């Protein structure tokens, strides 16, 4: 038997009495609900990552395996499939205790669609190669699965346009290290607050990464864009990319044990007469900073997806009533049902917010507020940072 929760009874009673859009109250709901019932996939409302299944594409690469290690520690569910090159298709690899089957390009769409059917709450993490960024993103958007794009390179304009047109949720960032992102944010603030402060200065940029990194550092490009706003003239083509291990040790100072995984950056500014110079430097040894940031991005995206699904549903189906049972909570939107087990405190808090919004506002205001939140689908690590501690 469906009963109205005590927390919502009075607000909803006011809603029935005052809003003409909700005619005939519960009788309308019951009649409409009997005719048509549909469910919306909504993730378990938890702050931990235990319920979040992730597919790590490029799982046996350096970054992919590092993400799996971090995901294991965070309690995420590692799905047993991953994309890889055709020559590895059919192989099963073990990555930190997880057996994962590799699927080649010819199988990608059918495998992903099937996996998404089985795990509708899944999120894809992409650490493949630059040449596959756009093709992979096209696929994720076509299937409709949310994803975290950690792979740099590709056509970034096309990437953003593809995701925006598809309405798929995504975290896209060329830099997954949260602390490095905070530095980048500080650079952006300086560039916005003090445009042309370094006008006339010359800039020299060095970046050193492991030999396997084929593309130019996306982080370096982001910092350079800030310097350009500060008035510095610079051609990205002259970035000094150092990939030779001997030079990395002798000239850059990379510890030998981290030759296979590091990110050293140096930005050297000098005045026109060479009497003033500034150096900005950030060095990372290993990959744990990026892996941990990626896990935070997954948790952030999972939270956004489940909340925005509700907001989007509200956007198209005005609330007719909110009802609770003794064992679970169901939200009825325009006669449709979203029924899942939620954290009790979370549900009560959010139902109260929704009911207050309905009582205190007219429906046009509600639609506007919901639309402004639901329309944002593309996030970056700045958004993750602003969310605070995800674990």
Q: What are the residue numbers of the active site?
A: 209, 213
Beta bridge partners of 333: 319, 336
- 83, 57 contact by CB (below 8 A): yes
CA nearest to 333, candidates 316, 353, 348: 316
Distance CA 318, CA 331 (A): 11
CA–CA distance from 124 to each of 79, 301, 308 (Å)? Answer: 10, 11, 18
CA nearest to 304, candidates 377, 357, 368: 377
Distance CA 210, CA 244 (A): 8
Residue 250: other Cβ atoms inside 10 A: 10
Q: Hey, is 271 helix, strand or coil?
A: coil
Determine what percent of the chain falls in helix, strand and coil, rounding each to the nearest 5: 50, 20, 30
Distance CA 248, CA 265 (A): 12
Sorted by sequence, the CB contacts under 8 Å of residue 226 that are 6+ apart come out as 184, 187, 188, 190, 191
The residue with tokens 């980048």 is 184
Distance, C-alpha 113 to centroid of its chain: 20
Residue 121: other Cβ atoms inside 10 A: 18
What region does 279 belong to: left with phi over 0, alpha with psi -120 to 50, or beta? beta
Taking each helix axis as running N to C, give the angle between helix 6-18 and helix 344-360, from 0 to 180 degrees, rounded to the nearest 10.
20
Segment (H or E) for 31: helix 25-35
- 329, 343 contact by CB (below 8 A): no
Structure-token pair, residue 283? 């060095």
Instruction: Cite the DSSP H helix spans in the chain.
Output: 6-18, 25-35, 62-74, 108-118, 133-143, 156-166, 178-193, 218-229, 245-247, 288-316, 344-360, 363-374, 381-387
DSSP conformation class of 3: B
């Amino acid at each position: 038997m469906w009963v109205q929760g005590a927390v919502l009874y009075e607000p909803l009673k006011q809603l029935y009495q005052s809003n003409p859009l909700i005619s005939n109250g519960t009788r309308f709901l019951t009649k409409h609900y009997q005719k048509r019932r549909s469910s919306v996939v909504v993730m378990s409302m938890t702050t931990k990552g235990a319920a979040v299944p992730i597919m790590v594409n490029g799982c046996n690469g350096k970054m992919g395996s590092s993400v799996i290690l971090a995901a294991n520690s965070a309690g995420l569910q590692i799905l047993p499939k991953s994309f890889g090159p055709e020559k590895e298709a059919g192989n099963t690899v073990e990555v930190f205790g997880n057996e994962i089957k590799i699927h080649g390009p010819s199988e990608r769409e059918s495998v992903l669609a099937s996996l998404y059917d089985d795990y509708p709450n899944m999120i894809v993490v992409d650490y493949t190669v630059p040449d596959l960024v756009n093709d992979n993103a096209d696929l994720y958007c076509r299937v409709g699965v949310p994803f975290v794009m950690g792979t740099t390179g590709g056509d970034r304009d096309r990437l953003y346009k593809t995701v925006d047109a598809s309405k798929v949720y995504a975290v896209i960032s060329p830099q997954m290290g949260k602390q490095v992102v905070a530095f980048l944010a500080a650079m952006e603030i300086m560039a916005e607050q003090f445009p042309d402060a370094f006008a006339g200065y010359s800039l020299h940029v060095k970046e050193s990464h492991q030999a396997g990194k084929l593309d130019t550092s996306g982080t370096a490009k982001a910092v350079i864009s800030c310097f350009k706003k500060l008035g510095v003239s610079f051609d990205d083509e002259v970035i000094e990319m150092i990939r030779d291990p001997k030079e990395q040790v002798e000239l850059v100072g990379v510890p030998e044990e981290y030759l296979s995984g590091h990110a050293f950056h140096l930005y050297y500014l000098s005045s026109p007469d060479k009497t003033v110079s500034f150096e900005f430097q950030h060095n990372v040894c290993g990959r744990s900073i990026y892996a941990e940031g990626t896990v935070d991005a997954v948790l952030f995206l999972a939270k956004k997806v489940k909340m925005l699904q509700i907001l989007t549903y509200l956007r198209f189906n005005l609330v007719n009533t909110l009802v609770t049972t003794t064992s679970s909570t169901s939200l009825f939107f325009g006669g449709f049902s979203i029924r899942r087990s939620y954290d009790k405190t979370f549900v009560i808090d959010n139902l109260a917010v929704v009911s207050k919004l309905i009582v205190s506002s007219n429906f046009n205001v509600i639609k506007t507020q919901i639309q402004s939140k639901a329309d944002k689908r593309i996030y970056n690590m700045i958004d993750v940072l602003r969310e605070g501690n995800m674990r």
